[in-house]
């Protein structure tokens, strides 16, 4: 820049002097940068792309990437488009990562959304936009957890996960509810064996089935007998969760 002017050079090498005061919002400044992308990546268009009818702000999804080309899925277009990859300021693709967008810009019934929302922005318009953007919304707010939960509870599209966990477990404390839910992932026999294994393994990596049955019985819920425990042990051996080793003849039991 000299004397409040810019000297610009085009792809053919011709130069043009432009007064800075004449630049308006129709001009854009791009910085060359190599950006790693992978299949499935979402990208946002920041400028015109030759051969592709898109405009700034449109979003593309990467279908495949090679050394000299990138194939993208364009909303509203039946077939994917293959774009040449270049590093010249005149031919490089004008794109940026497209994971960050305004609430409600994309509509999905399955996406996971990460949202950072200020206290003032946590209104119905913002929450409605987030609800349209995906099924699972992870909210980061300047409000404390209690006030955030209260605001979300008043909105018909949201159910706070912590409240769901407590309701399903029938507990008021979240930690107790989580413990109960984890325990519920196993049958009573599975849970007893799950608790018994670390005790036995702390003494010796190899142990007999009798030892496992005895230890598991000490953790078993009322009504869970040796028959259920033995059946579960055999099932875990069959699945490969437990490794059964034959004992040499005359040297103890399995």
What is the maximum alpha-carbon separation in the chain? 100
CA distance between the termini of the chain: 85
The pair of structure tokens assigned to 223 is 């009504």
The pair of structure tokens assigned to 47 is 């400028």
181: CB partners within 8 A, 6+ apart? 165, 168, 169
Half-sphere exposure of 9 (CA within 13 A, CB side): 6
* pLDDT single digits (tens) 33-43: 888 888 888 88
Q: Cα(252)–Cα(201) distance, rounded to whole angstroms?
A: 19
Q: How far is CA 193 from CA 39, 182, 208, 229, in A?
A: 42, 15, 13, 8
* pLDDT single digits (tens) 147-172: 877 777 787 777 766 777 677 677 77
Which pLDDT belongs to residue 6? 87
pTM of the model: 0.46
Q: How far is CA 176 from CA 66, 170, 181, in A?
A: 51, 10, 9
Contacts 24+ apart (CB under 8 A), 98-107: 98/42, 98/43, 98/44, 98/59, 98/60, 99/42, 101/44, 101/59, 102/129, 103/129, 103/130, 103/133, 104/128, 104/129, 104/130, 104/132, 104/133, 105/129, 105/133, 106/59, 106/133, 107/132, 107/133
* pLDDT single digits (tens) 16-60: 888 888 888 878 788 778 888 888 888 888 888 888 888 888 888
Within 10 A of 187 (CB to CB), how many other CB atoms are there?
14
* pLDDT single digits (tens) 53-87: 888 888 888 999 988 889 999 877 888 999 988 87
């Amino acid at each position: 820049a000299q004397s409040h002017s810019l000297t610009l050079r085009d792809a053919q090498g011709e130069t043009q002097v432009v007064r800075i005061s004449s630049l308006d919002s129709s001009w854009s400044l791009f910085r060359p940068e190599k950006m790693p992308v992978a299949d499935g990546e979402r990208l946002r268009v920041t400028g015109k792309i030759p051969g592709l009818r898109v405009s700034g702000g449109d979003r593309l999804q990467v279908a495949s990437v090679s050394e000299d080309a990138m194939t993208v899925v364009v909303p509203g277009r039946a077939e994917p488009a293959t774009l040449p990859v270049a590093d010249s300021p005149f031919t490089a693709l004008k794109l940026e990562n497209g994971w960050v967008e305004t609430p409600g810009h994309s509509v999905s019934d399955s996406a996971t959304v990460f949202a950072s929302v200020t206290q003032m922005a946590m209104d119905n318009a913002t929450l409605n936009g987030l609800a349209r953007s995906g099924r699972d919304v992870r909210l980061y707010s300047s409000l404390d957890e209690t006030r955030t939960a209260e605001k979300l509870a008043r909105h018909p599209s949201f159910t706070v996960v912590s409240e769901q966990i407590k309701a399903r477990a029938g507990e008021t404390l979240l930690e107790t509810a989580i413990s109960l839910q984890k325990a519920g992932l196993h049958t009573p026999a599975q849970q007893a064996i799950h608790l018994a294994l670390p005790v036995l393994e702390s003494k010796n990596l190899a142990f007999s089935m009798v030892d496992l049955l005895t230890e598991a019985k000490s953790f078993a819920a009322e009504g869970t007998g040796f028959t259920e425990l033995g059946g579960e042990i055999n099932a875990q051996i069959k699945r490969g969760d437990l490794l059964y080793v034959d004992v040499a003849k005359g040297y103890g039991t399995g």
